[in-house]
Amino acid sequence: MNKITRYEVRIKGTSPVIWNVMKRELQLELKQLKKDELSEWEENPKNWQRKAELDDKDNVIIPDRWFKSALVESCKKNRIVPHYATRKNETYSYYVQSFMIFNKGKPVCKKTQLEPYGAFVGAQGKNSNTKVWRVRPKLNEWTATFEILDTSGRMKLEELEETCGFAGMMVGLGDNRINNFGRFEVEKIIRVD
């Protein structure tokens, strides 16, 4: 039986990260607004700041689910064949899904330190081509630290480094990743025993 392996991964943003965490309360609030009230609601800092992921002290954090999702997507795209693979088209996708990932760092900032990022977004409703102004919280400079528990201890450190590096360069975290937001570089990965 393999032993659980722990890694600490510290990442640093190379591009701004954007949050768009639409909690149930925000969705219900938006549904009650008329179309002409949406832009005004979006531009109010008290509203768009609530789209960030917050800890229990109202500080902004990078959710661990974002990092795990980026690693899984990296495995699908980078096509690293595991050293223990029995098929040459096997990837680490399913294996990385079994990782337990925890955000171990400090909050990235206070809610009031976020900047607005506004854009016209998609048509609202059937047969509508009207775009609505949306504002999302953005942070230009950020770092985060995650702990990874490799429950089977089968991934080599070099493979994890390559997976994390690809995730930072080609996948990213947060919203609007298609426009290269949320990209990061790996500052360090250490094995914690």
Residue 30: per-residue pLDDT: 85
CA-to-CA separations, 183 to 25, 100, 109, 179, in angstroms, rounded? 29, 22, 18, 10
**Mean pLDDT on 139-157:** 92
Residue 89: per-residue pLDDT: 64
Say how many domains are in the chain: 1
Residue 171 above 70 pLDDT? Answer: yes
pLDDT per residue as tens digits for the range 25-54: 888 988 898 877 888 888 899 999 999 999
Query: How many other CB atoms are there within 10 angstroms of residue 77's CB atom?
Result: 14
Nearest-CA neighbor of 30 among 132, 175, 137?
132
- Per the CB < 8 A criterion, the answer to whether 172 and 182 are in contact is yes
Residue 88 above 70 pLDDT? Answer: no
**Mean pLDDT on 149-163:** 89
Residues of the domain holding 16 = 5-192
- Per the CB < 8 A criterion, the answer to whether 175 and 134 are in contact is no
Backbone angles phi, psi at 56, to 5 degrees: -70, -10
Residue 83 above 80 pLDDT? Answer: no
The secondary structure of the chain in percent helix, strand, coil, rounded to multiples of 5, reads 35, 30, 40
Confidence of residue 18 (pLDDT cuts 50, 70, 90): very high
- Per the CB < 8 A criterion, the answer to whether 148 and 101 are in contact is yes
Mean pLDDT of the chain: 87
The reported pTM is: 0.86
pLDDT per residue as tens digits for the range 96-132: 888 899 998 789 999 999 999 988 776 555 666 667 7
